Chains A and B, each alone.
Chain A
């Protein structure tokens, strides 16, 4: 698998990252190198090996259904560039 300049631009746009033509030119071989290394892993025979979710054997812990958080609006909004009447205020996004 390899990527071309168009794919890099598409990925960047999906990730909302602005890239210049120069960035794209540099990134195509860089990403293809990374993909090459990952493809090497495909050479290992993993038939019958279960996917590993975590290196340390562990189980997902679950939480009790109790309200323990919230009512911290000032903290939630503290870093917002703009907040009004307790809401985040963002550039208008409407269909």
Chain B
């Protein structure tokens, strides 16, 4: 259990959090029409007469959207309901031309599942925890309103209207803002592995409704509020903290919490009531008469299962077990699907058994490549160096052509020029030398120039050995094989 507590005037309070995540499904067309689901079209161009809710238009579900939701459900270890049904959620708003959203209340496509969040001491999560997922269902997105284009009008763009969303509802199992953040990061990672949602919160393809209540530890659940449409993990964590503190203040001030819909204002870091949503819980759901129940064949379900990729937890266990990677490396490499893909392409390109090269490859990727990408502000799928080039560089280190220092130099040149490492080594003469004659000559020079230090070393000041290694390497432009330098120096210094 989390030790996160809010200190109130009357003692400690525990925070109870549940999240409803809306994840936009990756598909070509919308959930119930043949209009494009892609971003960026001119206003109202990705709109069919179904999406505009013209009279007599009938919805037909998109098989790919159902498949994506089923695969996501499987990735959450959840029950896939062979029989589910669409319901109408009725409300009026300018971004909802139908006057109802087609959703699934009574019989969702996916039942209970779980998400495991990992221990993270820095975030105050002492041990891995399993967070329950209550359900996953598919529903339509609404259109978009713009309020700042005209003094007295709002503009409506229906391009998003009818795009498929998965609503993924957690159980009220989280107990701290950090746990909520970890849950969202893990969910996003799973969605991106499955390929059912791009997880881009900035562009709105993943947003969260945050349910928060507070209680004295051990008491039953308190009354919760729902803060709508929070669009970044950082804001979700901040909204929880500010809303929980507000609730403690209200209760300790003698008030009671009203079950209501609230809005998070990141500029002021506070939540406030959305009075316009007073009727919000009176949605008068009923089965959509335009749609038959959705029945999945065993064949369809089996096909979805066969298409499921290796998921982050399984991949991480395999990296630690089969590849023998340290836990930290395995966690970093598997947290995002693009990183894992790049790493596996790198291992493939070495042409060697994974277990043999994985450790060096993972260290290089995490420190050198990530460092460079950070500096360049690029994501791993935009890396100027390809996995194949990375593998060549690692091979040059493994066979002794390059020392660690030289490899870093070559890598910098690769980043700048995009050239292959072998070509760089050849053209710029950056090859490491193990030529004992040349190294011995330099050692003799270094010793002659530092006769006093030689005497000190021989007098018992062992620490000076590093000084001689440094001087020798420097004199050789970093190109001497460090192993050979060590060996020859020991001999020369006696």
**Contacts from A to B (Cβ < 8 Å):** 14, 16, 53-54, 58-73, 75-77, 82, 84-95
Contact = CB atoms under 8 A, between A and B. Distances in A.
B157 A63 contact: no
Contact of A90 (B49, B62, B154): B154
B433 to A, nearest CB: 59
B493 interface: no
Interface of B: 27-29, 33-36, 41-50, 52, 60-66, 85, 90, 92-94, 145-147, 149-150, 152-158, 263, 274, 276, 279, 282, 284, 287, 291-295
Given A53-B293, A60-B291, A65-B63, A87 B44 contact: yes
B155 A70 contact: no
B114 to A, nearest CB: 28
B295 A76 contact: no
B442 to A, nearest CB: 67
Which one of A16, A63, A92 has the greatest number of beta carbons of chain B within 10 Å? A63
B292 A63 contact: no
B274 A95 contact: yes
Given A63-B62, A66-B29, A76-B158, 6 more contacts: A63-B61, A67-B35, A76-B49, A76-B52, A85-B43, A85-B149
B292 A59 contact: yes
Interface residue SS majority, chain B: loop
Which one of A53, A64, A67, A82 has the greatest number of beta carbons of chain B within 10 Å? A67
A87 B15 CA distance: 43
A93 B93 contact: yes
A72 B48 contact: yes
A86 B42 contact: yes
Contacts of B147: 92-94
A60 to B, nearest CB: 4
A76 B27 contact: no
B34 A68 contact: yes
B156 A87 contact: yes
Contact of A82 (B92, B153, B263): B153
Contacts of A61: 60
B63 A90 contact: no
Nearest to B287: A53
Contacts of B62: 62-65
B150 A60 contact: no
B60 A62 contact: yes
A85 B155 contact: yes
A18 B459 CA distance: 104
A91 B152 CA distance: 6
B218 to A, nearest CB: 38
Contacts of B292: 53-54, 58-60
Contact of A84 (B50, B93, B155): B155
Contacts of A65: 27-29, 62-65
23 contacts: A53-B287, A53-B293, A60-B61, A60-B292, A60-B293, A62-B62, A62-B66, A63-B61, A64-B63, A65-B29, A65-B65, A67-B28, A70-B36, A70-B48, A72-B48, A84-B153, A87-B43, A87-B149, A87-B156, A89-B154, A91-B152, A92-B147, A93-B154
A65 to B, nearest CB: 3
A51 B166 CA distance: 26
